[in-house]
Amino acid sequence: MKGRKLYIKVIFIIFLFIFLGFSFQNFTQRNAQFNDERIMDHLEDICKQTSNMYHKKFDDAKSLIMSTCSLISNHYYSHEDIGKILNNLEKDNSLFTRIWYLDQDGKSYNYYKNEVLKTNGNYVDEIFKGNTGISDVFSSAYNQKDIIAVYSPVYQNKKVVGGIVGIIEINDEDNSLLYDDFFDNSAYVFATTKDGQIITKVRNDNTLYLGANYFYFLKNDVTFNEKSFQSIIKNMNNNQSGYFKYSLKNNGRICFYTPVSINNWYVFTIISEDFVINQTKQMNEITFQFTVPLVIVLFCIFLIIIHYFIKTNKQIEKINNQLVVNHKKIESILKLTSDRIFEYHVNEDSLILDAWDNQPKVIFNNFLKYLSNYEFVVSEHEKMFKEKFNQLINGEKEVSFDVKLPYISKDLKTWFHISMIRISNHTFIGTFQNSTKKMNEYNHLLENQMFKNSIYAHATSMFAVHLKSKKVIISQSEGKYKNYVDYDYENQFIHHFLEYVYEDDKKLVQDFFSYDHIQKLFHQSIQNNKIDFRYFNSKTEKYEWRRCNVQFERQSSNNDLIMIAYSNNIDDEKKIQLENEYKAQKDGLTGLLNRDTFNQKVNDYLSHKRASYQYSAYMILDLDNFKYVNDTLGHDRGDAVLKEVAQTLKYVFNHKSYIGRFGGDEFLIFMYDQVSYTEIEKKANQILKNIHDNNLENISCSIGICFVRNEKDYEELFKKSDKALYMCKNSGKNSFKIYYNLEKE
């Protein structure tokens, strides 16, 4: 029976909500439609009123120019009188920016200010034809701004002797030309020429376009939601009004436009769709007509809720009483400690700091949201503080951590150990315990350990990382220690560290100090625990070689693993090593690569995969008749010739090539990644010509070439090139032979 009653109540509530929803939806649809029609009518009215006002203003301006021309034609002839009349007219009329007198020479004059200007407007011919009118937009010769001219001729003895020209600078904001009612200044208006050039505008914070040509904006930048740009142009060609809707970056606009009976000008009135939506929301206040059915529905729901709460009230009271008892138990236990107690309520984001040691109870509303404003925790600990609270919010039962709380301690030196437990889904309780002594001892132990390691290794700098949390805990540079809290190892410390590493070494250093690589070092899957790299010394302002070693230690307090990295300055040692390595790779006489180094570089190249469009060749170059030089001119001259040949080879093979000395008068060349075999043959011909033309004791050379195809090492290439050289020597010298061609022969 009880189940059946509950089922009936649920059905009744659902029915009431459906009825209310449909009623409200029907009303809002009718209201929105009515509001759209009302706003479109009002937009049209504003647009047409503005058009009429625009026409009247310019018509009045034309009449004023005409009457001034008539006055000057009949009564005033001197330049001084004309200057005063036009100056007074310019001061008394806000529409005109400047007023000129056009003389028979086609130049414009301001006799009052003694200014003269060569006119570039097309209105000049119209004036001397006796016409009065308003020009299209053109660029002023006076200041290069876009202007409109209102002009009329001046007569003497029924002959045009000049004219008056009123100049109006366009594309400025001028409310005096436009209709006043703009939906409480929520609409904005553009007056444009027939090609879209903005003449005058009224704008507000909703204005999307501030440029000079409104048609360019509509054609290129917006998306039309209703109508199209072509339909606008078609209506304007037919001198018709219309409307359209468009959007730009999620900003919707409604626009009405109508012609002005001046030079085919148009007025555009625009309003934001957000304004229409807001108007609809305001009109929804007339939902008073739904008050009676709404009250009936709410009353029925209220009766059901009362019935439900009466039924469940006893259970709630029982639960609350049990919670109160549990809370008192917890509070009594916590008060037996010397720690300060607090509560945190998730839904309200409020922290309640209980009264303690003669200090009053404090409530922090929007605690995590405005944590920095309360200055409750030091700024460098804020991120970690929020993360710990969020761990509880996301389901963890308890958390603990150490931070500095200047609000409680009134200083920046005291550490507090915070312990929190979750007593419900929405409530946490916790304590603040002074942990300054423990933290100081911990940091002191770290500094001692770092100092011992530094002395032992003669290190210039060191840093220690807690591997479980991936946080840097302490660093030392030139005897200065720095402790960290919540300082991320890879994203912060190493990122900053790499800023001082030499560009070519950055990738190597980043890979070495990556967290994954450090883990492999610890588990001894990688044996090499040191790295050499160049590091910027801010004192000498030079890059110096450093050697960084990594070791691992366990903390005695909790057995957590710590990585300690310390670096030494090996700049002098490294430079000597690199210099020796460089010398070991060179031929002592010519400075070219020695045979072993040359062939190792070739093998290194061959070991990598190559693209089909990369052409390479191995060459052996042997000097012709070189023995004659040594026998007749001596070995000193022979050595000089070898050096000159080496320089010639460097000159010719200066790009993507290895050059070496095989021994005696034989040289090795390896060209790689060339664009074609033809390019390689050109280089061979060039070296033949350069050596022959240098007149080195009538020395020439022979070259054996092997194009690289599927060879795996230099030995294959050498043998094939040597065969080609042998054929070259036997066929007249001072030439080259290609092993591929020999096979064909």
Domain stops at, among 434, 465, 489:
434
Question: 589 and 568, same structural domain?
Answer: no
pLDDT tens per residue, range 400-413: 888 888 888 888 78
* Sign of the CA dihedral with 531 first, then 536, 538, and 544 last: positive
Amino acid at residue number 158: K
Say if 627 falls within a structural domain: yes
Say if 603 falls within a structural domain: yes
Question: 506 and 411, same structural domain?
Answer: no
Helices then strands, counting H and E runs in the chain, come out as: 21, 31
User: How many separate domains does the chain show?
Assistant: 4
Q: Rg of the chain over CA atoms, in angstroms?
A: 46
Torsion from C-alpha of 591, 595, 601, 606, nearest 10 degrees: 150
Say if 489 falls within a structural domain: yes
CA atoms within 13 A on the CB side of 445: 12
In 10 A of CB 205, how many CB atoms? 8
User: What CATH number is given to the structural domain containing 413?
Assistant: 3.30.450.20
DSSP assigned state of 360: P
Question: 603 and 472, same structural domain?
Answer: no
Question: 223 and 257, same structural domain?
Answer: yes
Confidence of residue 336 (pLDDT cuts 50, 70, 90): very low
Say if 322 falls within a structural domain: no
Q: What are phi and psi of 264, to 5 degrees?
A: 60, 30
Question: 68 and 134, same structural domain?
Answer: yes
Say if 556 falls within a structural domain: yes
Question: 355 and 280, same structural domain?
Answer: no
Nearest one of 654, 655, 741, 659 to 706, comparing CA atoms: 741
Q: What angle do CA 639, 641, 647 make, to 5 degrees?
A: 105
User: What CATH number is given to the structural domain containing 703?
Assistant: 3.30.70.270
Beta bridge partners of 669: 619, 659
* Whether pLDDT at 456 is above 50: no
DSSP assigned state of 289: G
Question: 99 and 123, same structural domain?
Answer: yes
The DSSP string of 343-377 is EEETTTTEEEE--BTTBPPEEETTTTTTHHHHT-S
Greatest Cα-to-Cα distance within the chain, rounded to the nearest angstrom: 131
Confidence of residue 338 (pLDDT cuts 50, 70, 90): low
* Sign of the CA dihedral with 626 first, then 630, 633, and 639 last: positive
Question: 533 and 560, same structural domain?
Answer: yes
pLDDT tens per residue, range 631-677: 888 888 989 999 999 999 999 998 899 999 998 899 999 999 998 99
**Pairing mode of beta strands 107-110, 98-102:** antiparallel
Say if 447 falls within a structural domain: no
Question: 229 and 276, same structural domain?
Answer: yes
Question: 381 and 278, same structural domain?
Answer: no
C-alpha–C-alpha distance, residues 696 and 701, integer Å: 11
Question: 260 and 111, same structural domain?
Answer: yes
Domain stops at, among 547, 574, 601:
574
Q: For residue 667, how far is the Cα from the chain centroid? A: 54
Q: Which residue has the tokens 């929190």?
A: 420
The residue segments making up the domain with residue 503 are 454-574
Say if 634 falls within a structural domain: yes
Question: 707 and 643, same structural domain?
Answer: yes
pLDDT tens per residue, range 525-583: 666 788 888 988 888 888 988 888 888 877 655 567 888 888 888 877 777 776 666 66
Amino acid at residue number 199: I
* Whether pLDDT at 308 is above 50: yes
Pair of tokens at residue 333: 């236990």
CB 137 within 8 A of CB 146: yes
Q: Which of 459 and 711 is assigned the larger pLDDT? A: 711
* Whether pLDDT at 331 is above 60: no
Torsion from C-alpha of 23, 28, 34, 35, nearest 10 degrees: 160
Which run of H or E residues covers position 477? strand 471-477
Domain stops at, among 552, 574, 596:
574
Q: At what angle do helices 273-283 and 2-75 cross, to 10 degrees?
A: 130
Say if 45 falls within a structural domain: yes
pTM over 0.75: no
* Whether pLDDT at 185 is above 60: yes
Beta bridge partners of 270: 188, 255
